[in-house]
């Protein structure tokens, strides 16, 4: 099957360094998520005044909203070092024990995708989070011995895109839990202006508004589209990103007025033209568009559902009347009605 990924979902290794450069360094520089910023500021300031490590922090929400940036900011605000790992890398308890034993008092440990931590490592994490201690098992079988090992007080900052997949014992050990929300277009315009200043891009207000409207409520996607439109502006225009240049550049990269890309439209087209609007299983849709089922389910569906164009039902995926109209087709009389209006409906 094809492994091509849409511009809104692909992670180009060449862009990683740029994405790092665009990350805010302090809480005052972080745009959006006003409620989370206020709560986090109180947590950090309270810990500073007490001279103690702050409570463990769980950041949940869809990809690209700034969870990793906030983890880096927490360490910077505390003046602490940060150790970074991910759930899939912690397959054994020994993997986690090696990391924990090397922490210095006040360090921040960031675990991305914590819902994918293996169960043995997760059980070790319980004790480390509560008592700053781990039990290391030496030997095997009847002769195995458990040796308690004290670790330095630290703050765990964890990120997850699937908070529901966390076990209750793990979730309950976090003192502060924040859920990241999708951004509104005006907030994304602020993100784009800041990024344009760092990149030295001549971004006009109407160009910023156009890119923001097609960024799926996600700063990471907004910054990625900004870099692609910058390429278009420098090669095929005078370097300035105006409304016309933004529209032309985004058209080249197959990003339409709602932010749907090639794969999104392929999924909708298959649902509507091949399967009459559904219901149909995700595996069948994936075969029709030449992609893996996981790609369709994890990359395309969340946005299509949020945009009110696709519904998940017990019998399968169904295209709504909005999906038919977006493809410039007349919905059948029995098409699934549009859901509650969203911020995308005005487009």
Residues marked active site are found at 67-68, 112, 161, 220
Q: In 8-118, where does DSSP find H-type helix?
A: 13-22, 34-50, 67-78, 93-101
**Do 269 and 214 belong together in one domain?**
no
14 in any annotated domain? no
CATH number at residue 266: 1.10.10.10
| Domain boundary residue, one of 135, 150, 179 | 179
| Domain boundary residue, one of 154, 179, 204 | 179
Q: Encode pLDDT of 2-44 as tens digits.
A: 333 444 444 455 555 666 778 888 998 899 899 999 999 999 9
**Do 159 and 271 belong together in one domain?**
no
CATH number at residue 199: 1.10.8.60
129 in any annotated domain? yes
Burial class (CB in 10 A: 0-12, 13-18, 19+), 281: middle
Q: Quick one: pLDDT at residue 219?
A: 93
Tokens for 36, please give them: 């989370």
Higher pLDDT, 10 or 268: 268
Q: Quick one: pLDDT at residue 8?
A: 44
Q: Are strands 316-319 and 310-313 parallel, antiparallel or unpaired?
A: antiparallel
**Do 86 and 145 belong together in one domain?**
yes
**Do 240 and 211 belong together in one domain?**
yes
**Do 117 and 169 belong together in one domain?**
yes
Domain that holds residue 296: 262-326
287 in any annotated domain? yes
Q: How far apart are CA 32 and CA 24, in angstroms?
A: 12
28 in any annotated domain? no
19 in any annotated domain? no
**What length does the chain have?**
347
Q: How far apart are CA 34 and CA 181, in angstroms?
A: 10
Q: Quick one: pLDDT at residue 7?
A: 44
Tokens for 277, please give them: 């609007």
Q: Quick one: pLDDT at residue 259?
A: 87
pTM metric for this prediction: 0.81
Q: Encode pLDDT of 273-327 as tens digits.
A: 888 887 888 888 888 888 888 888 877 888 888 888 888 888 888 888 888 888 8
CA quadruple 257, 259, 260, 262: dihedral positive or negative? positive
**Do 159 and 281 belong together in one domain?**
no
Q: How far apart are CA 148 and CA 291, in angstroms?
A: 48
Q: Quick one: pLDDT at residue 56?
A: 93
């Amino acid at each position: 099957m094809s492994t091509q990924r849409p511009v809104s979902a692909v992670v180009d290794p060449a862009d990683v360094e740029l994405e790092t450069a665009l990350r805010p360094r302090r809480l005052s520089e972080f745009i959006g998520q006003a409620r989370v910023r206020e709560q986090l500021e109180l947590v950090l300031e309270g810990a500073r005044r007490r001279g103690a490590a702050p409570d463990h922090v769980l950041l949940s929400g869809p990809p690209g909203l700034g969870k990793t940036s906030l983890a880096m900011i927490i360490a910077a605000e505390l003046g602490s070092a940060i150790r970074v790992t991910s759930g899939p890398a912690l397959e054994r308890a020994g993997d986690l024990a090696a990391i924990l034993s090397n922490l210095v008092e006040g360090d921040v440990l960031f675990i991305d995708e914590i819902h994918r931590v293996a169960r043995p490592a997760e059980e070790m994490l319980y004790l480390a989070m509560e008592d700053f201690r781990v039990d290391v098992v030496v030997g095997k079988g009847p002769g195995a011995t458990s040796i308690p090992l004290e670790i330095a007080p630290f703050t765990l900052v964890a990120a997850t895109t699937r908070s529901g997949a966390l076990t209750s014992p793990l979730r309950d050990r976090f003192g502060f839990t924040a859920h990241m929300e999708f951004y509104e277009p005006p907030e994304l315009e602020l993100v784009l202006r800041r990024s344009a200043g760092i990149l030295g891009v001549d971004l006009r207000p109407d160009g910023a508004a156009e890119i923001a409207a097609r960024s799926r409520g996600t700063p990471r996607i907004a910054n990625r589209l900004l870099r692609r439109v910058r390429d278009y502006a420098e090669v095929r225009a005078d370097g300035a990103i105006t409304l016309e240049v933004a529209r032309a550049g985004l058209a080249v990269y197959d990003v339409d007025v709602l932010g749907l890309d090639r794969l999104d439209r392929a999924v909708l087209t298959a649902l509507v033209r091949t399967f009459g609007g559904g219901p149909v299983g995700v595996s069948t849709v994936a075969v029709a568009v030449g992609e893996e089922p996981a790609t369709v389910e994890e990359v395309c569906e969340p946005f299509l559902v949020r945009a009110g164009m696709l519904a998940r039902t017990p019998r399968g995926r169904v295209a709504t009347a909005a999906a038919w109209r977006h493809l410039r087709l007349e919905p059948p009389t029995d098409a699934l009605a549009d859901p509650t209006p969203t911020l995308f409906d005005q487009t």
